[in-house]
Amino acid sequence: MADTFIPIASRPSPVKVTGVAPWMRHNLFANWRSSLTTLFVIGLVLYVLPGFANWAVFNAVVRADADACQAARGVGACWGVVTEKYRLILFGRYPFEQHWRPLLATSIMVGGLVLSCVRYFWKPWLVTMWVGVLAVFFTLMGGGIFGLEPVRTDLWGGLPLTIMLATLSIFLAFPIAILVALGRRSHLPAIRSVCIVYIELIRGVPLISVLFMASFMFPLFMPQGMTIDVLVRVVVGITLFAAAYMAEIIRGGLQALPKGQLEAADTLGLSYWQTQRKIVLPQALAMTVPTMMGNFISIFKDTSLVFIVSLYELVGAMSLALNSDVNWRPFKIEAYLFITLVYFIFCISMSRYSLWVEKQLSASKAR
Amino acid sequence: MSEESIIKFDQVNKWYGNDFHVLRDINLDVAKGERIVVCGPSGSGKSTLIRCINRLEEHQQGRLTVDGVEITDDVKAIDKVRKNVGMVFQQFNLFPHLTVLENLTLSPMWVGKMAKKEAEERAMQQLERVRIAEQAAKFPLQLSGGQQQRVAIARALCLTPKIMLFDEPTSALDPEMVKEVLDVMLELANQGITMICVTHEMGFAKAVADRVIFMDQGQIVEENTPEAFFNNPQNERSKDFLSKILGH
Amino acid sequence: MKHQPPPQKRAWSLNSRATRGVIFQVLTLALVVAGIWFLWHNMQENMRIRGIESGWNFLGSTAGFDIGETMVEYDPSESYGKAIWVGVLNTLKVAVVGIVLTTLLGVLIGVGRFSRNALVRGLCYGYVELFRNVPILLQLLMWYLIFIEVLPPSNEAWNMAGLFFLSKGGLSFPFPTDGVGQVLAGAAIGLVGAWFWRDRKQKHFELTGQNSNRIWGPAALILIFAVVGWAVAGMPTTWDVPKQLVFMVDGGVAATPEFMAVLVGLVIYTAAFIAEVVRSGIQSVSAGQVEAALALGLNQKQNMKLVVLPQALRVIIPPMTNQYLNLTKNSSLAVAVGYPDVVSIANTTINQSGRAVECIAIIMLVYLATSLSTSAFMNWYNQRMAIKER
């Protein structure tokens, strides 16, 4: 039963599936319930948006004019509070004329961070570079040498403080986390117990209690006469906190590594530490990158808590700037929105970067 | 030709998106009790073809009739058809949170409105048919691939379907398990059920098929009896395909 | 051949792994113990020098400060211990209500990510991205500020139907004066009855294959028993209804702006995370499962109930429990808006009594107890529900 075969050419679909109209029909008006929802949402937006746009944009006062702002209260947003106070918000109690120093220091640190994100720069000298960046940062901020006027650490504040706390804590917590993660998976019961107690203790309590502990109890733990800088206490607190969470994430990566890898390393005669350094950690850490990035974002957001132990990062600096100035105090909402924007931009950049890294890593795994 | 076709494709066309013409002018009649093997290179539309039969895929043009019911968007018609068509997937798709027995009694109880005892009896019968009755209390992920696929076949048979569709049932199996599944399918084939099987297992096709259909680029290029097709392919593309899979 | 025991291992070679392990552990433990002893000794010294007392007896002394809102009777003449207990209750209050509300909101948004309507999908996506990327402290402060700024003063509160009043003083709503206990007890009995009803229905289904609705009957049963409870209480009809007075709103039950700010902030923040957990749980069920269910003739509802949800829930519940824990821990930030939770009260206690170490220990103990019990529950749940594999 062999007829002559006539190949059939490809034809386009008679019913258009892609394109604006079909997309709208499928995604917005697929059935009556969906259509109703679409109309409802559009109605809601049309109801709310003009009012909000008027308040935020059209009637808003941008000049740093307190009287104009008062006159516009309830009708327009007072972005003038940002124009007027942005330096106090961004840099906290740092001496006003020396603001170029935290600006420069933060730019260098952010530059270092951006550089570390690019795959091209993942070379061994990156660590040395980081030591250099941190040294420059602390010199610029603290001063006392090279003719720079010394600035006490409790005057540091605002965005530089936030970025420094987050970066330094993550940097210091990483090696601790690796050790604790390895320790928790150790076959030696004493080591394992110590690590488990540490992890469960820290993960079971809120950061605020760890900060309280660091702030109140750290000085008591030091030998008599030794004073601990408030910044150091906070960094220690956040580092210990972050290390416990990072240790759990790394442990997840270690668990996901096939046992065959360890066995192969054993047969090649590698010692425990060699195996960890060359075989286990590179693979395990690569697997944990997305979760780890999420953790970094959390730590960045958590730095806002130091406000409660009297270090004036963004939120604290803003409260300070506005509470002391009667003219501008009523416009806290606009200032809060400004800080929200700053945090939002940082966090969403980090999460977009994290998605990009995930894609890169899975592309390298796909055949 | 088609006084008793149980499945009838009449100028069936399907597109993915606007431009990917995945099924082109398919005309096919399947008689009751007939056993058909569909083969062809990947991307030729063979899986799509059989998935249209129980509406897991929708066709945009043409008429498709299964057991007298025309397949359209009508949900009731689709439900009727699905009760008479059993499907076995390449990835088994057993429900991992239910035991083997529960996997089999799920549909008879909830769709067929059977009492539990009756459903379990029927399930045990099917499990014995595929020779795996002793695993009834186990969970799917505790079984080997070959065992899981046999359970999947038993699960489809619990509906007492008139038509069985197989979508590359042995492609995901380790070589030593392929035989056990093919043996079960062979037994099934000799019991009078209408079968349409997408597979690369040419030995199976030779042993069982009444008709072999070769598809390429969305259309049926050649259909013939197995002997005619394998020994004397009429078409360039068929010859090319056969040389690739039978060559080594 | 006579059975011989295995040869004795040669003990105590310095190179053997076992010996090295023991030595390593002994060294580490020694280090840890020494470290702890060092810190402890310093602490004792410093406290002695600074005249800080230690000990738990301060818990019995008079607190001397008032607490803004309490769930039990309290006045400043009560002890620190009582004050801290009030704090614990306040934390539990906001945590329990918060967990219920955030689950509802989070599940709605998580499921909304799969809606057929693109606007709904986009709104849910936008919600998650917005509220996940702003610190919780900032969100709490903003909500508090909004409540304080936007709400009207107490002498001209917004009211709805003359029953609900919203102002800077808080949200006042009517509450029955008595009979609540009896109604709840009745509902509880009805719940037990409902459970038995559903059990009977399941057996009937297995026996005959006929499935009937299992929601309305049991729900009606609960309602009937609740009404019986109300009747037993003497059919009370009086409600404590709030009224607008000249300076304030009086009567009813009030939720303070502080409580509302903490609740709303926590619920909205955590819901964004729960939505993500729900979304990834639903996505984890492979499309093949749904296809197999459809091919077997199951309809959408049965597919959801029998195939998708059981598998999705196994993936969702552990991280969801984690989010509940996070909500409880984040409630510690209430100290920033003045809601008297346990951290806030402990903070005041530290300032007054100077017993920093003890109070911090109490705070950590409270949260540890919650975390560890939740972890234990989760481990038990995971073991029971785990999908059995080879």
CATH number at residue C354: 1.10.3720.10
Angle between helices A230-256 and A189-204 (to 10 degrees): 120
Q: Which helix (H) or strand (E) holds C44?
A: helix C17-50
- Whole-angstrom Cα distance, residue B128 to residue B132? 6
C143 is a domain residue: yes
For B89, which of C207, C288, C388 is closest by C-beta distance?
A: C288
pLDDT tens readout for residues A283-320: 888 788 888 888 999 999 999 999 888 888 888 888 88
C158 and C291 assigned to the same domain: yes
C37 and C91 part of one domain: no
Residue A292: which of A203, A170, A198 has the closest Cα? A170
Burial letters A41-75, b for 16+ CB under 10 A, else e: beeeeeeeeeeeeeeeeeebbeebbbeebeebeee
Q: Is residue C14 part of a domain?
A: yes
Are both C34 and C142 inside the same structural domain? Answer: no
Residue C7 lies in a domain: yes
Domain for residue C147, yes or no? Answer: yes
Confidence tier at A2 by pLDDT (50, 70, 90): very low
Statement to judge: residues C5 and C118 lie in one domain? no
The answer to whether C323 touches C281, Cβ cutoff 8 Å, is no
Same domain, C269 and C327: yes
Helical spans, DSSP H, in chain A = 20-27, 32-53, 66-71, 80-91, 100-117, 125-142, 158-184, 189-204, 207-212, 218-221, 230-256, 259-267, 272-275, 281-302, 314-323, 332-365
**SS3 (DSSP) at C170:** strand
ipTM, 2 decimals?
0.86
Q: Which residues of C touch A191 (CB under 8 A)?
A: 24-25, 28
When the pLDDT of each residue in chain C is averaged and rounded to a whole number, the result is: 86
List, for residues B185-200, the tens digit of each pLDDT value: 999 988 889 999 999 8
* Confidence label for B1 from pLDDT (cuts 50, 70 and 90): very low
If asked whether residues C168 and C270 sit together in one domain, one would say yes
> Do residue C321 and residue C255 come from a single domain?
yes
Q: Do A209 and C364 touch (CB under 8 A)?
A: yes
C309: contact with B, CB 8 A cutoff: no
Could you say which of B82, B91, B93 has the minimum Cβ distance to residue C297? B82
Q: For residue C315, tell me if it sits in a domain.
A: yes
Residue C209 placed within a domain: no
Give the mean pLDDT of chain A: 85
Chain A neighbors of C149, CB-CB under 8 A: 332-333
Can you spell out the DSSP letters for chain B? --TTEEEEEEEEEEEETTTEEEEEEEEEEEETT-EEEEE-STTSSHHHHHHHHTTSS--SEEEEEETTEE-SS-HHHHHHHHHHEEEE-TT----TTS-HHHHHHHHHHHTS---HHHHHHHHHHHHHHTT-GGGTTS-GGGS-HHHHHHHHHHHHHTT--SEEEEESTTTTS-HHHHHHHHHHHHHHHTTT-EEEEE-S-HHHHHHH-SEEEEEETTEEEEEE-HHHHHH---SHHHHHHHHHHH--
Is C223 inside any structural domain?
no
Inter-chain touch C296–B93, beta carbons under 8 Å? no
Instruction: Please state, for a pLDDT cut of 90, what percent of chain B lies above it.
Output: 71
pTM, rounded to two decimals: 0.86
Note whether residue C67 is domain-resident: no
Q: Are residues C21 and C92 in the same domain?
A: no
Q: What is the pLDDT of residues C21-80, one digit of tens each?
A: 788 888 888 888 888 888 888 888 888 877 777 778 788 888 778 888 887 778 888 888
Is A321 in contact with A313 (CB distance < 8 Å)?
no
Same structural domain, C99 and C31:
no
**Whether residues C173 and C313 fall in one domain:** yes
Residue C10 sits in the same domain as residue C84: no
Count of the separate structural domains present in chain C: 2
Give the pLDDT mean for C205-228.
84
Domains of chain A listed by start with CATH number:
160-311 (1.10.3720.10)
**pLDDT for the residue C14:** 64
Mean of per-residue pLDDT scores for chain B: 91
For A110, counting Cβ atoms within 10 Å of its Cβ (0-12 exposed, 13-18 middle, 19+ buried), the class is: middle
Nearest chain A Cα distance for residue C43, angstroms: 5
d(CA C268, CA C280): 19
The answer to whether residue B69 neighbours chain C at the CB level (below 8 Å) is no
pLDDT band at A366 (very low <50, low <70, confident <90, very high): low
pLDDT for position C18: 75
Most confidently modeled of A212-226, B79-93, C185-199?
B79-93
> CA of C250, closest CA in chain A: separation in Å?
29
Range of the domain at C372: 80-177+238-385
The pLDDT of residue B34? 92
Question: Do residue C93 and residue C24 come from a single domain?
Answer: no
Cβ–Cβ below 8 Å for C390 and B141: yes
Put simply, the answer to whether A13 touches B60 (Cβ < 8 Å) is: yes
